[in-house]
């Protein structure tokens, strides 16, 4: 291939990246629910005729993006090309096809040029409520958790499936919000199709075959070269976490070979009776994302760069839950898989892998209490996302109140108070919550909220790092654990239903990230700056970091 041909293909590749980013922004700007429009809980992508992902929007979560990459292949086979018409859009929220739980809707739409399908666009976003017990870990099976929609047509030749939309609305505590989010997903698909066809016409393309092969082969070769820099071998790690009924062990065996990397979850605890189980597609999405953050991070995420990473686990282990297991809060454990993987990868790449972090976001679904509806009060369902600190990096501190690995932005005070009858009375960083080290772990948050009226509300807790905080690396200290309580009352477990009555204050503190390297190796000026900025206390500066003259720091 000549240099000019490569340049032309690279320009078209860059154009595709612009197309998918516009898709993502369309979804965010037209969505109704705060978790989409304010927190970016989405994905969007362009796929070739075979269903291979060519480009994904930068905005979005790995749990949506990497599951979407495989889901499109499944749907592509479910609906034969000869039966697809212009204006068709397909959908499903099946957890084992889409994104791991019922609240995530996946849409797939064909792009037509000159009467032929030339590719696909797809997107995913979170719908706030689909009935059942709602977003929470209390379901005993998938049927408790809400409405499951098998792969079907949402739009048929441009005509919306009004019955399907009505069914979704009839099974939701937030019917208008759900309807608005469905139309936002449709708009995302339509923008992707329009811009893809415009790009092909601008470059005189009749098909995507050459561009698709170039993107996938280039990404595959670059990722293979990056894997070659990792020491071959098999590495093992175990992560003990809080769990629900009992503690859980997540186990990993990572094998690095010349032709790719394989991750095996053998030894991992069996499924829970509660809705914290994780379908393998979701566990794979976050595990592979974690590896790609370290191995070839500058290589775009697509079918070519993803195919060199294989993940497996015994059926029935909690990271490979089988239907009809309850999976509503699958992110609670699924988002801890990067820390599990990094414990393996740090053995192969010493001094290159960050410490453990808060990792699983503090996802707090709120809902009006049942008696509120009976009394004619304000019925609502809202999902808040808040984040703890990330693990310290080999050469930098961890990030405070930052979502890794999910990438979901934290819920904003003003948006929360506008969407539901609650008031947030305090929100600040937690001093001393970041693990001490030569590089300090990121800090967690302290947040307080209460009812804005005389009506109670429910909180469906499914959070981690309450009993087992983020561990440090290379001598770094652990971060602070998370905490949940009502006022000055006792701490609550991280899982289960919690009622907040009028006049009571819900207090939750998100965990801090682990430190990296021994604390006595931290530069004195940085310790002084941390004290001056209120990130660590004077006691911690003296007792942990060995700063004798703390007064000079303040």
Q: Whose CA is closest to 366, among 317, 313, 410, 419?
A: 419
Same domain, 365 and 513: yes
Residue with tokens 């309807």: 179
Could you list the beta-strand ranges (E) of 76-135.
Answer: 89-92, 104-113, 116-126
Q: What is the tens place of the pLDDT at every residue in 121-139?
A: 999 999 999 999 988 999 9
37 near 125, Cβ under 8 Å?
no
d(CA 320, CA 287): 13
Residue 243 lies in a domain: no
CA torsion angle 529 535 538 540 (round to 10): -110
Q: Which of 188, 220, 252 is the last residue of a domain?
A: 220
Total residue length of the chain: 554
| 8 A C-beta contact, residue 496 and residue 461 | yes
pLDDT > 50? residue 552: no
Strands (DSSP E) contained in 127-228 are 152-156, 159-160
Whether 311 maps to a domain, the answer reads: no
Q: And the tokens for 200?
A: 């092909």
Per-residue confidence at 429, pLDDT binned at 50, 70, 90? very high
pLDDT exceeds 70 at position 180:
yes
From 220, 238, 260, the end of a domain falls on 220
Residue 462 lies in a domain: yes
Assess whether pLDDT exceeds 50 at residue 149: yes
Number of separate domains in the chain = 2
Judge whether residue 553 has pLDDT over 70: no
Please name the helix (run of DSSP H) or strand (run of DSSP E) that holds residue 253, with its range, or none.
Answer: strand 248-257
Whether 348 and 230 have beta carbons less than 8 Å apart is answered as yes
Q: Left (φ > 0), alpha (ψ -120 to 50) or beta: where does 114 sit?
A: left
Helix axis angle, 3-30 to 209-227, nearest 10°: 90
Domain extent at residue 464:
354-522
- Over residues 283-295, mean pLDDT: 98
Segment 227-247 mean pLDDT: 97
**Residue 88: CATH number of its domain:** 3.30.450
> Residues 216, 360: one domain?
no
pLDDT at 373: 81
- Render pLDDT for 191-210 as a digit per residue (tens, 0 to 9): 999 999 999 999 999 999 99
- Prediction pTM value: 0.95
pLDDT tens digits, one per residue of 27-44: 999 999 999 999 999 999
Tens of pLDDT, residue by residue over 351-408, are 999 999 999 999 899 999 999 988 888 889 899 999 999 999 999 999 999 999 999 9
Tokens of 403: 């979502």
Tell me if 423 sits within 8 A of 378, measured CB to CB: no
Residue 13's H or E segment, with its range, is helix 3-30
- Are the C-beta atoms of 360 and 332 separated by less than 8 Å? yes
Whether residues 216 and 362 share a domain: the answer is no
Q: What are phi and psi of 455, to 5 degrees?
A: -115, 135
Q: Answer whether 136's CB lies under 8 Å from 149's CB.
A: no
- With respect to residue 471, please indicate whether it lies within any of the assigned structural domains: yes
Residue 316 located in a structural domain: no
Q: What is the pLDDT of residue 554?
A: 43
């Amino acid at each position: 291939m000549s240099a000019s041909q490569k340049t032309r293909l690279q320009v078209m590749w860059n154009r595709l990246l612009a197309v998918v980013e516009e898709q993502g922004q369309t979804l965010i700007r037209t969505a109704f629910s705060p978790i989409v429009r304010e927190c970016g809980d989405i994905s969007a992508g362009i796929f070739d005729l075979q269903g291979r992902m060519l480009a994904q929007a930068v905005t979005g979560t790995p749990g949506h993006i990497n599951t979407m990459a495989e889901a499109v292949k499944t749907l592509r086979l479910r609906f034969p090309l000869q039966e697809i018409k212009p204006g068709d859009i397909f959908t499903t929220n099946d957890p084992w096809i889409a994104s791991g739980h019922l609240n995530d809707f996946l849409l797939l739409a064909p792009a037509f040029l000159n009467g032929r399908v030339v590719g696909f666009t797809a997107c995913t976003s979170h719908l706030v409520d689909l009935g059942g017990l709602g977003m929470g870990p209390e379901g005993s099976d998938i049927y408790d958790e809400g409405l499951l929609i098998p792969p079907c047509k949402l739009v048929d030749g441009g005509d919306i499936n009004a019955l399907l939309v009505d069914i979704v609305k009839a099974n939701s505590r937030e019917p208008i919000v759900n309807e608005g989010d469905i139309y936002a997903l449709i708009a995302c698909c339509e923008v992707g199709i329009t811009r893809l066809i415009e790009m092909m016409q601008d470059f005189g393309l009749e098909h995507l075959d050459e561009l698709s092969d170039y993107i996938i082969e280039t990404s595959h070769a670059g990722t293979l070269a990056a894997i070659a820099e990792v020491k071959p071998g098999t590495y093992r790690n175990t992560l003990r976490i809080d769990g629900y009924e009992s503690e859980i062990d997540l186990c990993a065996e990572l094998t690095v070979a010349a032709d790719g990397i394989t991750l095996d979850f053998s030894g991992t605890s069996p499924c829970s009776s509660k809705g914290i189980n994780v379908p393998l597609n979701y566990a794979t999405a976050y595990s592979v994302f974690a590896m790609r953050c370290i191995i070839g991070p500058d290589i775009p995420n697509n079918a070519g760069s993803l195919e060199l990473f294989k993940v497996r686990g015994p059926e029935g282990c909690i990271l490979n839950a089988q239907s009809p297991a309850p999976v509503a809060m699958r992110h609670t454990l699924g988002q801890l898989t990067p820390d599990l993987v990094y414990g393996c990868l740090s053995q192969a790449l010493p001094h290159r892998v960050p410490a453990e972090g808060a990792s699983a976001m503090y996802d707090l679904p709120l809902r009006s209490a049942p008696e509120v509806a009976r009394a004619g009060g304000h019925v609502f369902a809202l999902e808040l996302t808040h984040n703890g600190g990330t693990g310290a990096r080999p050469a930098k501190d961890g990030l405070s109140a930052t979502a890794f690995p999910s990438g979901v932005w934290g819920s904003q005070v003003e948006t929360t108070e506008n969407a539901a009858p609650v008031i947030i009375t305090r929100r600040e960083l937690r001093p001393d919550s970041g693990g001490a080290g030569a590089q300090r772990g990121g800090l967690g948050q302290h947040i307080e909220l209460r009812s804005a009226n005389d009506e109670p509300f429910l909180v469906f807790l499914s959070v981690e790092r309450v009993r087992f905080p983020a561990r440090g690396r290379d001598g770094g200290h652990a971060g602070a654990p998370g905490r949940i309580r009502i006022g000055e009352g006792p701490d609550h477990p991280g899982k289960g239903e919690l009622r907040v009555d009028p006049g009571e204050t819900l207090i939750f503190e998100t965990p801090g990230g682990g430190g990296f390297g021994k604390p006595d190796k931290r530069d004195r000026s940085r310790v002084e700056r941390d004290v001056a900025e209120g990130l660590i206390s004077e006691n911690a500066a003296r007792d942990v970091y060995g700063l004798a003259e703390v007064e000079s720091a303040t």
